[in-house]
Structure 1
Amino acid sequence: MSPDPPVEAGRLSRRPRRGRLKVFLGMSPGVGKTYEMLRAARRRKAEGGDVVVGVVETHGRKETESLLRGLEVMARRPIEHRDRTLLEFDIDGAIARRPELLLVDEYAHSNAPGSRHPKRWQDVEEILDAGIDVWTTLNVQHLESLSDVVLRITGVRQREAVPDSALSRADDIEVVDITPEELRKRLEEGKVYVPETARLASQNFFRIENLTALRELALRRAAQTVDDQLVATLRERGVQGPWAAGERVLVLIGGDGMAGMLVRTGRRMSDMMMDAPWTVATVDRPSSASGDVGRAQRLAEAFKLAEQLGGRTVLLTGDDVVRTVSDYAHRNNITQIVLGRSVVTGWRARFSEVFGRSLAAELLRAARGVAIHVVTDAATPDTPASRPAVPAGERLWDGRGYAIGAAFVAFATGLALLLDRSFERVDLGVLYLSAVLAAGVLYGLRPALAAATAAFLVYNFLFLEPRYSFAIGSPTDFLTLFVFWAVATVTGVLAGRVREQARRAQRRASAVSALLVASQSLSAAEDRGTAARVLAEQTAAAAGARAVVLLPEGEDIAVAALAPLKAGATEPPHTLSPADMAAARWAWERGEAAGHGTGTLPQTRWTFRPLNGVRKRSGVAGVEAAALAPGSDEERLALAVMDQGAVALERAELAGQALETETLRRTDRFRGALMNSVSHDLRTPLSTVLGSATTLIDYGETLKPEVRADLLTSIREEAERLNRYVGDLLDMTRLEGGGLNVKADWTDVRDVLNAAAERVSWRLGTRDLTRDFPADLSLVMLDQGLLEQAVVNILENAIAYSPDGSRIELAAYEDRGSVVISIEDEGRGIPTAELERVFDKFRRMDEPSDRSQGAGLGLAIAKGFVEAMNGRIAAASPIHGDLGTRVLISLPKAIATHHQLL
């Protein structure tokens, strides 16, 4: 179990420091591990420590039960299983109680079905992660890497095992040791088992030689842990010296029964070499056909065992096994190579021979500076029951091959009979050889061998002397039989390899295509919801089963997508069962796989895996239980799709954050420009209104009538200017906030233009506003109020930037598809570089010719209103030499006008 990755800040509370683990290690039951643990706990309690007994098994021993007095003992959690109530350790109660020290007996105990974890050592891991110190007990025979050794010593295979990596993380190990003679004496006194059980145990497991060997294993393991702690301390302090960490172990396994044994051997070698890094590898030969359908399953189990024991796993690919292994060993500084030689017979020995004596010999010749360790299997040859069954599809295919091979032989026989009657001295064996060759090319080795046997028998019976007899008349006939069988063998083997290579190439091409489709689909996802839906669909397609994706939602996670949907369903269900959600939350919070087939909540219907992106965890993906065979191509493809999906979800989230950031940036710019406008453009008219009003109040009676009239005019003009500012700001707020409501109706644009001209007439001064409208103009569907305000804003802009005495032209005309409004002035024009930005918010020309120039929102508002009515607006300048500006508004017609009607 790898250390937990960091959890995203702000979503979960900061995890407390990891608790300390102390293991009381013994060589066998009865040495007094629980007794010694309770004695030490009572001393800690007497010193004022907060000590709680989570679970302790006394096995009816009175001296052990007496030590529980005065200690707080937690109640166990009942679990119903097969109409029985089983009492198990209460993890949640222990975490809620949070003592300083928790006693959890029997580290290797298997929990009852329905528990959160199948093993008690996993319960302890969760307690330690919660920051609680734990003391526990363990017998050395329960270590996973020693199970084969213990089996050979005692003849008993242990059903309960603890990964060595779990023990390696222990902060303290205390060996509870007594001599084998003293332990047997305790056994005879009934202090270990009841009398009848003790008598049987003393004759079997508790023999002197067994106990001595187990005692040595326990002491060696404790010494190894002490040595590891010493090395770690020296490294932390920077003490120089030769470190055994330079040793690196490579374990080569195949798909046979020795895989687990080799993995455990590699772990033991790593321990003996001061915890040297070790890797478990297998070589996938693309050119060889795999006849063992259980190979992938056995390899997956071996890889899983290696990961539990703390090793790495790698899949090597290459036809030249020796060169592939040698290259990997050279690149990764491997110093020790472990491989096995099992006792197998028959055609299945072909794969074992590659990984057996011949491979070791070749590695010895090719390797330089590498030690080769060959592990032999003392087990008996495989029995028929242990051999993997051939799938039904293969049996049907073989039956078809045999039948067609027989048909080839029958056809060759008919042709041979015809040629034998028509010609003399014809080599009829070539016909049968062709039939055997065809059977081998099309259907492989076994049908080819069957066809060769049938061809020889028929050929011998019908055409060789003595005819119509199976007797072999000459040594040449033996040569014929040998040639038939040789051709059948060679063609069958070659055809099998070619077909297997074709199948693998097809599977790889399919996998690459599926990954390409998944990558393209995930890359096109614009948001997290779409990415989650695509990921669920692609994972379901890769796994051939239902898939679900859960994304964070507040402090929890929730179902975001599920595929494929049930028939008739349009939306995925947004709930899973409580057990399934518990497994999904575990995968999300711990960054570990949970659910079916894992060590956490394995009784659920789904297998959940965290989606770890480049920077953080994006969500959780689940596949329906038992859908993926461990180590299969489907599993690797589904995992690859999940990895792509994690990155896609992270990218979609980052894109959303970028869009939100851009929106906030634009809002800040608008807010800053608005405040700048309010602070500058509103202060001037307010000062003018305030000054004029104060003068009229203080000196109204003494002022001349014309002065009073001028002050009142100034108040009115500046108030109207303020009104325009406020109106522009309100209009821009409607545009920015999406609150603009367009009320379209059939409208004569000429009426709108006349109304707009009347509204600005009082501001023209000495300027001349001309109107050029056609006699007939098509009606347009638009909002009269929005168009009038847009035209007013453009006219006011033209007035502000054109000199007195100049001309402003307001015109309208139409083409086939639209009605066009043109507003043209004779001002100083707009620089070409500014044309593209003239409709931006708060964009104003320098040195205005009129103090009534606005806040720079008029043209931006006009553009927003026109585009809200599906129109277009543009500016052109200059138009009269170096002067003048023309603004064009194009409003689309509902139906295009025929060119002959224009």
Structure 2
Amino acid sequence: MKTRSPSNWQRARYLLAAVLCVLTTLATVPLREVLDLANIVMIFLLTVFVTAAWLGRGPAVMAAFLGVALFDFFFVPPHLSFAVADAQYLVTFAVMLAVGLITSQLAALLSERTQEAQAREHDTQALYDLARDLGGTLTVDQARDIAQCFLGRLDLDVIVLVADNSRPGLLFQQYGGRRLSELELTFARSTYEHHTLVETDALAGLGVAIVFLPLVAPTHILGVLALAPRSDDVDSLHSQRPLLEAVASLLAITLERLHFAAAAQRGEVQVAAEQLRTSILSSLSHDLRTPLTSLVGLADTLAKPHLPENAIETATIIRDQARAMHHLLSNLLEMARLQAGNIPLNKEWQAFEEIVGSSTRLLAGLLASRKLEIDLPKDLPLLHFDAVLLERVLCNLLENAAKYSPEGSRIQLVARTRDSFLEVAVGNDGAGFPVDRLDQVFELFARGEQEPAVAGTGLGLAICKAIIIAHAGTIVAENRPGGAWVRFTLPLGTPPAMEEEATR
């Protein structure tokens, strides 16, 4: 079935206006001997008003002129003639025409405003329904399908392009529709980079996307909304531009909500996994430390001179391995407690030199085969730190420096004050850290080499980093010619004033 075109409807409106004027004339001609001419004029003006309200401004103007002509021809003497016997009727014609034109203008304007208000109300209700539907979406595909259902009534195909920032360059992840051409992607990139709408009317009717709207959220731009009309009626598309921009805004807010919801979910999963790992490490460490301590004590008891030499050697090996496992479990427990934040820092103002001395005494056996060089400033001020934890940091760094350096080589411990912090560096002469893994050496269970010959678990540097960060410091690993450095910083602060004893 053929649909009525706009031009045919325009002609029909003028024809209906003429029919109304003719019907008014036919209805009032029998009454011209009964009604005064002024009352008949009012009837014609009523016809003009009805025409304006029903058919619009143009037909109403035609009805005003036609009404004056019909009134002159059928009601003004001499009848059935356009001649006017009394010149006063000319004033009647002028007033009738003026009133008819003004009335038609006002009535048509009121009708247009009413239609615009109804259209805005319809659009507002439709956008409200769209926002309600988008508020319940869980994926980008669902949001795109809802937008397609909404804009499909305007003969538009919807394609949502979400920017993929995980890879270098501007790439889009497409949702819905056919695969866009390189030309269309160029328009989409321009829209994304300049945050402005792009229209390509010259491509209308070719079945390609010609409108690209940026999906701008309150915090940043997320992607592009590409619209491909199913017809070549570009004028109707332009008239719907405010509606399209509102849809793009709602879609951008929805995509941002989905983005933050996914980030929050990932964060919750990571926190739960971290808590589970911490609790497992803590539980295992607590349960295994007691039997290992007993094992070390029993091995020491067995290693007596009255036993055969091979039995003493076996007991010594058992003792050393038990001690190594005890050290490992201690590190695991301490790392779990540090990550859980359950260790309160017992900070006091104290001398850094004392920590260096106690650490070197604890590792005297391991450092005996190395050349230890200690360089500390003579005027080093007091620092505010937890002595037990910082001693663990120095012990771990010195132990690593000894493990990964040959016997007889040099190990350096250097401290310098810089601005508002103390910088401490521990270095050795060895192979250094792998260049491509410098950023990973402070992670849990990370080793300097993929398959190191030196025994270890990769917890030492991770524990050092956790302790230094808890002291509001920084720690980095770097290579140097012929070896490696691990540097950490501690804030200097302002030591309390020392009270001098009163002398007499």
- TM-score under structure 2 normalisation? 0.49
More helix by share: 2
